[in-house]
Amino acid sequence: MARIRTIKPEFFTSEDIVSLSPLARLFYVSLWCEADREGRFEWKPKTFKLRYLPGDDCDVDALGQELIDAGLIALYEADGKLYSEIPTFAKHQIINNREAASEIPARKSTPSGTREARVKAEGKEGREGKDGRVPSSADANTPADTTPPALVTSIPLIDKTEHPITEAMAAEWAEAYPAVDVNQQLREMRAWCLANPKNRKTASGIARFVTTWLGREQDKAPRVNGGGQKPGADGVGRSFV
């Protein structure tokens, strides 16, 4: 259910907002209504398109990627589901005390600013510590190695789910394919899958799809020593149809 949210006049002149496309700005505001009191919500682009932009001919996945690239929302995986969080939500919204508590798992690397953290920090000078974060019991008790991996993007699968791509995965591919701009190619893979829904891959086949794609791009790079094998060439056929 949508909630009532507020918008400040300075929103319209904020540097990170004016850098967005007009529809991405509107989409960002619509996600405030989707978010619970902690700024969290399940990531369902198709639902958002029908709910908030029904009359616009637009690619809501591309709009979402704009917001991700701008750092305005953060995707994360928990309990096998893909969620999103608005990192600055609590900073800009005043939540009604009667609004239900969040039922969505927290992003373990969440910056300061949740409503509970602000309540617990009451009585301290200001609302933040020296590092700009509001401490919470969850932060103190959560081991560092349980932090969910940060996501770079996600790739649509044939079953209409999204396969998350983590920063660690992207870094490993960047090392394996040094001549390739891996993040750019991941964006192109996502765009290709969005444009070719019938040719999307399964969860078990997506890894081969990615490495085959990156291998093809590696093969396009200039030869290292004239006539030798190109870096990363693996002889795998390059067909995505």
Q: What is the pLDDT of residue 122?
A: 42
Which tokens sit at 85? 């969080």
Residues 35 and 123 in one domain: yes
Q: What is the pLDDT of residue 147?
A: 61
Q: Is the alpha carbon torsion for 135, 141, 144, 149 positive or negative?
A: negative
Residues 32 and 120 in one domain: yes
Q: How much is the pTM? A: 0.47
Residues 34 and 89 in one domain: yes
Owning domain of residue 33: 9-143
What whole-number distance in Å separates Cα of residue 229 and Cα of residue 225? Answer: 8
Place of tokens 């589901």: 81
Residues 131 and 46 in one domain: yes
Q: Classify residue 74: in a domain, yes or no.
A: yes
Q: Classify residue 231: in a domain, yes or no.
A: no
Nearest CA to 38 among 1, 90, 108? 90
Q: Classify residue 62: in a domain, yes or no.
A: yes
What whole-number distance in Å separates Cα of residue 141 and Cα of residue 77? Answer: 20
Which tokens sit at 57? 């001919």
Q: What is the mean pLDDT of each run of 10 residues along the chain (241 residues)?
A: 78 90 94 91 94 93 92 90 91 81 80 40 42 49 60 88 89 91 93 90 88 91 57 44 40
Q: How many residues does the chain have?
A: 241
Residues 118 and 13 in one domain: yes
The last residue of a domain, from among 143, 170, 185: 143
Q: What is the pLDDT of residue 141?
A: 56
Neighbours of 133 (CB within 10 A): 15
Q: What is the pLDDT of residue 116?
A: 41
The last residue of a domain, from among 96, 126, 143: 143
Nearest CA to 62 among 209, 188, 198? 188
Residues 85 and 165 in one domain: no
Q: What is the pLDDT of residue 91?
A: 83
Instruction: Let me know if 98 is exposed, middle or buried by CB neighbors in 10 A (0-12, 13-18, 19+).
Output: exposed
Q: Classify residue 41: in a domain, yes or no.
A: yes
Which tokens sit at 187? 């964006």
Q: Classify residue 228: in a domain, yes or no.
A: no
3-state secondary structure (DSSP) of residue 239: coil
Q: Classify residue 239: in a domain, yes or no.
A: no
Residues 40 and 135 in one domain: yes
Which tokens sit at 71? 């750092």
Based on the structure, what is the number of domains in the chain?
2
CA dist list (Å): 198 to 59, 190, 239: 17, 14, 14
Q: Classify residue 236: in a domain, yes or no.
A: no
Residues 46 and 124 in one domain: yes
Residues 126 and 25 in one domain: yes
Q: What is the pLDDT of residue 63?
A: 94
Residues 180 and 67 in one domain: no
Which tokens sit at 147? 């932090």
Q: Is the alpha carbon torsion for 85, 89, 93, 98 positive or negative?
A: positive
Q: Which phi and psi (to 5°) does residue 82 adopt?
A: -100, 125
Residues 18 and 79 in one domain: yes
Residues 134 and 155 in one domain: no
3-state secondary structure (DSSP) of residue 162: strand
The last residue of a domain, from among 113, 143, 173: 143
Which tokens sit at 214? 């990156």
What whole-number distance in Å separates Cα of residue 129 and Cα of residue 51? Answer: 39
Q: Classify residue 3: in a domain, yes or no.
A: no
Instruction: Let me know if 63 is exposed, middle or buried by CB neighbors in 10 A (0-12, 13-18, 19+).
Output: buried
